[in-house]
Amino acid sequence: MIGVVEPVAVTPASSAARWTAFAYGVSIALILAHFVLGLPVQVSDSLGDILKLSASWSDLLSAQFTQQGFMRPFHWGSLKLVHDLSGGNYYVWYRGAHVLQVIVLVLLYLALVRPRTWTDAAVLPLGLGVLVGLHTFAGTVREAFPINLYLTVLICCFAAAVVVLGRYRWWNDVLLVTLFVVATLTLETGLLVWVIAVGGWMIGARGISRGGVVALVVLLAGYFYLRFGVLGVGSPGLAERSSGFGFGILEPSELVERFGTRPIVFYGYNVVTSALSVLLSEPTGGVFQVVRALRAGAVSPVMIVNLISSLGATLLIGRYIWTRRRQWQAGLTIRGGVHGATLERDDRLVLLFAAVLAANAVITFPYSKDVIMSPAGGFLAAAVFVAARHLLATAPSAAGTSTRWALVTVAAVLVASTWGLRAAGLHASLRVRAVAERLDWAYLDGNIAHGEVQIPRDARSMTVVRTLQDDALVRHPAPRPLNLPLGRLLGVED
């Protein structure tokens, strides 16, 4: 788009700009929190788990080290902790924890991109729009288990990036090791904390010491040894769950039938499509929805919105990489054992996005699920902020003719508008979900009677069920439905 790099015209740092950006970020977090609070604790993925939490700490945690495919003791520890603290007030504590996660995430995003000038304040809405509008983020707020473990990992990843890209302090190494342990034992994608910390160090970030890197390498080796060598937990197999492939969803039996003798093909598909999904919003969940809709002549407006917005964001990052390629070539050359010393913080942030995208896609190999890619999506939002800031700082002097300049401005309006629609669509979908989750509670008794939901029927369990049911249907009923304009563009009518 614009290949010439002129001296960067950066507006000076301003306390007012910083506070404006902070206030905007907090507002976005509080608005999202309001919509998240509209959701009840779910029946699916939450009720069964809550009923298990009356077990002792030792029973609960030891079970996490003896099952097949997953090893998530910290997730269960956090569930148990909130459960025991709640005193039976589950809605307030679990939904409160989710809201707290949302606020912490946005604050960490602000710490990561560091808006300090009016230029930064101007691009922050786009960055936050990408953060909450990308489809990989939706699963971190639409669902809870009943604490959203994907959001926990995203928070740990952002926190690790803030620490590793910041100034070194003596406790940074301890903090990064703690984040790695918590994230990795919460969810498998927690391994990305290692990628961020060690990858950051490799590209010259010095928020971590050499000793910290060594500790993380040892811990990573220990994790794999424990998981695969000692405990035999392994990783999810083909028969674990259904997954998208091509133009549809394959059930576990179909996956085994088609890929049982050559799973590497399916795993490779998952890795490639997961990365593409973050960059282009297509495919989603492993399914090429837009291509399928094109073939059927049924492309919906929201698909076009998603494609335009993601393409715009990816091109913006591509422009940044292109204009910074010489600095990157020089910075990534190892001189005297020093890596990336000449790179700027923004360069490192974009490089971290690339590293997280690749590693996140690899971790997703067993099956495709949008929310698993939420760390890569989060870092995409940070990279978009950096790229947009750079565009603002360089484009005025580089943009040449008026026609070209007008095109850049129109493209900016289009990309920003489509991200606005996606962010609004997320909020609208939360409102739809608020009703759908409550319908599950309303029909629960019938579903239990028909054997469609199987839960323990002892007195204690039924007391918990009634408390949660009353929370969802009586004490905290569904908020009123929204009648937003442009519903088809938001995807809520599809």
Calculate the CA dihedral of residues 460, 463, 464, 469 and round it to 10 degrees: 160
What amino acid is encoded at 412 in this protein?
A: A
Is the Cβ of residue 121 or residue 356 nearer to another protein in the bound state?
121
Is the Cβ of residue 125 or residue 146 nearer to another protein in the bound state?
125
Q: Is 483 helix (H, G, I), strand (E, B) or coil?
A: coil
Shortest Cβ distance from residue 421 to another protein (Å)?
A: 8
Alpha carbon of 379 to those of 131, 134, 140, 350, 373: distances in Å?
A: 8, 11, 15, 8, 10
Shortest Cβ distance from residue 359 to another protein (Å)?
A: 29
Is the Cβ of residue 303 or residue 492 nearer to another protein in the bound state?
492
Q: Is 267 helix (H, G, I), strand (E, B) or coil?
A: helix
Is the Cβ of residue 10 or residue 293 nearer to another protein in the bound state?
10
Shortest Cβ distance from residue 397 to another protein (Å)?
A: 9
DSSP characters over 145-205: SSS-HHHHHHHHHHHHHHHHHS---TTHHHHHHHHHHHHHTT-GGGGHHHHHHHHHHHTT-
Shortest Cβ distance from residue 90 to another protein (Å)?
A: 17
The token duo for 486 is: 């442009």
**Radius of gyration (Cα) for the chain, nearest Å?**
23
In the complex, which residues of this chain contact another protein (CB under 8 A)?
A: 9, 24, 27-28, 30-31, 34-35, 118-119, 121-126, 128-129, 388, 391-393, 395-396, 399, 405, 408-410, 412-413, 415-417, 419-421, 423-424, 427, 435, 438-439, 441-443, 445-446, 449, 472-474, 477-485
Question: Which run of H or of E encompasses 249?
Answer: strand 248-250
Residues 372, 286: Cα–Cα separation, whole Å: 12
End-to-end CA, the chain: 34
Is the Cβ of residue 342 or residue 397 nearer to another protein in the bound state?
397
The token duo for 28 is: 């976005």
Shortest Cβ distance from residue 467 to another protein (Å)?
A: 14
Shortest Cβ distance from residue 59 to another protein (Å)?
A: 34
What amino acid is encoded at 140 in this protein?
A: T
Is the Cβ of residue 403 or residue 483 nearer to another protein in the bound state?
483
Shortest Cβ distance from residue 461 to another protein (Å)?
A: 20
Shortest Cβ distance from residue 15 to another protein (Å)?
A: 19
Cβ–Cβ under 8 Å, residues 172 and 392 = no
Residues 387, 381: Cα–Cα separation, whole Å: 10
Is the Cβ of residue 121 or residue 196 nearer to another protein in the bound state?
121
Cβ–Cβ under 8 Å, residues 197 and 166 = no
Is there a cis peptide before residue 456, judged by omega within 30 degrees of 0?
A: no
Alpha carbon of 421 to those of 26, 105, 491: distances in Å?
A: 20, 21, 9
Is the Cβ of residue 331 or residue 377 nearer to another protein in the bound state?
377
The token duo for 453 is: 């939901």
Is the Cβ of residue 358 or residue 411 nearer to another protein in the bound state?
411
The token duo for 152 is: 């926990």
Shortest Cβ distance from residue 37 to another protein (Å)?
A: 10
Return the bridge partners of 248, or none: 245
Burial 184-194 (b: 16+ CB within 10 A, else e): bbbbbbbbbbb
Shortest Cβ distance from residue 445 to another protein (Å)?
A: 6
Is the Cβ of residue 304 or residue 416 nearer to another protein in the bound state?
416
